[in-house]
Each structure stands twice: as structure tokens, then as C-alpha cells.
Structure 1
């Protein structure tokens, strides 16, 4: 199933966020399909998720994230997540992700990222968390990006 509309993946994203941070990622909706659509199409923040592979690849990016990074769904979900940062920034990014692994989540993250066009921008006040299901199995990590600033 396409992860843009997959209720199991939506539950993994939102459930792990709620368990780790103690708050909801998505406003309450009467129907889960409406909540899934809101997160993908209308959320005012970027949301990315990568898998738990040795060289993680993005498996999800909502429309806001696609706009920020300049990739469509197919391009984004084929992209190793390390390529979202320039080479000099990758070691900083990896150290941060190691902290997320250790602590479960980190809020208030700020780092430089690179778009498909080569344009650079700050992601600011980001929250990154472990995608851990209700059985304790790790599926990857996700990032909620509420604010960005373009670098000139």
C-alpha cells in the first residue's frame, strides 16, 4: 500500500509521536481517512520519515516536505536521507540522529538542509523521533519541520 494513505503507517507516525512526546501530531478528525489526508496534503509543517536501513531512505514526505526539498513523491521516496544535507553537514546530522536513537526524540533541532535545486535552507524547531511501534519494534525515524529559513 502507498504510505501516503496507509492507515498502519499513519498509526506508526502518530502513535510513536504521541507515546514519546505525550501530545498529538495531528488534530482530531472524525474519520481516520480525513486525518491521513490532512497530514499528507494540508499540514502546515513538513513531515519526513526514513526507514531503519543502514543507509536510510525516505519512505514518506508530506506535500509541505516535498515543496521544501523540491522533490516529488517518487523522487523523495528513492532518496537516501543523508543526501538531504550537504556533505559538510552530514556528520552533524548523523550525530544528531544518534542522539535521537539514544533519547527517543529531540525537539528544537536546527540544521542546514539542501533542496534538489542545490538551494540551502535552515530547518528550525524540528522534532525528530524514533518510529517505534506498540510492540517496541524500530521502523526508522521521522521529522516534523515547523519552520524553515532560506539561506541566501
Structure 2
């Protein structure tokens, strides 16, 4: 059984700290109390955050509720999904190139791309940021993405 990272404060710290270090901006508003931050990001954030692991064919390990609604999966469904399946076959090569660029450069911002939901609804994500999940010891744990804007194709 996979341990849920949805409310895990250590995983939240990995997301937030690596975003701050690599992107140079906070992942969430500084007005949120540290004790409430993981819960707020998972349950209440009005923007999407997803993360995948380091497998050769990465699997999502985190998706906040906004991302679950956007992609039309619950926690168990999205964390069983290989992240490449968030894009249709014709868009997977472009997505793979973005992720490789992020892997070597640390992050990318201003990303725009078409994604697909569980019901096969196609939607644009706009102004996305993708960054490496690297802990304070320099260990690579995967990649994460956030986007605030999306709309149906």
C-alpha cells in the first residue's frame, strides 16, 4: 500500500522548498500558517499542483484536489496513473522534451499545453511551472508542476 502524500508535511516541504530554491518564488501565499500549509495546498488551493516520481515511466505521486477535479480522477486513480497519460499520444513527445529540459535546467515556467482528463475531455493548461523535486541534501525525487489557468479546448 502506498503511503498517502496528500497531507504529508514533509512532502509539502519538499514541494515548497524546492519550488522556492529553483523557481525563486513561494509556492503558496506566505500568509498561511506553516501548520496549515499542507492541508490548504491539498484541499483548498485554487490552482493545480501535481508531482510524479523518478520511475523510468513516472507515476503521479501527488495531485491536489484542484488537479484531481481538472483531470477527473480521485486520489487513488491519479496516483495510479503514469504521468505520460495526462497528455494524448501526439502531445507526449513535446511533454517529454519539456520534462527533460526541466530535469537538466531545474525548472521551466510559462508552459502551455493540451492535456486530457479521465473522460477524454481535452483542455489547455496555461502559464504552467514545472520544477525538479530536489531536497536540501540534493537528492532528486521527481518533478512537480503547477498551473493556475486551464480551459477546455
Q: Shorter-chain TM-score: which interval? A: over 0.9
4+ residue segments displaced more than 2 Å: 28-33
Deviation of 1:2 after TM superposition, in Å, equals 2.1
Provide the C-alpha distance between the structure 2 equivalents of 1:21 and 1:58, rounded to a whole number of angstroms: 21
Q: Is the 8 A contact 1:28 1:35 kept in 2?
A: no
Q: 2:29: which partner in 1?
A: 27
**Unpaired stretches in structure 2, ≥5 consecutive residues:** none
Q: 1:18: which partner in 2?
A: 20
Cα deviation 1:96-129 (Å, max 9, x = unaligned): 1111111100000001000000010011100000
Given the alignment of the two structures, is residue 77 of structure 1 paired with residue 52 of structure 2, yes or no? Answer: no
Provide the C-alpha distance between the structure 1 equivalents of 2:66 and 2:92, rounded to a whole number of angstroms: 22
Q: 2:125: which partner in 1?
A: 123
Q: What SS does the corresponding residue of 1:122 show, helix, strand or coil?
A: strand
| Aligned alpha-carbon RMSD (Å) | 1.1
1:102–1:117 Cα change, 3 Å: same
Deviation of 1:53 after TM superposition, in Å, equals 0.7
Alignment partner of 2:114 out of 112, 116, 125 = 112
Provide the C-alpha distance between the structure 2 equivalents of 1:14 and 1:30, rounded to a whole number of angstroms: 13
**Unpaired stretches in structure 1, ≥5 consecutive residues:** none
TM-score (norm 2): 0.95
* 1:42-57 pair list within 5 angstroms: 42-57=44-59
Cα deviation 1:5-35 (Å, max 9, x = unaligned): 1111011000000001121111225643311
Deviation of 1:84 after TM superposition, in Å, equals 0.2
Provide the C-alpha distance between the structure 2 equivalents of 1:116 and 1:144, rounded to a whole number of angstroms: 19
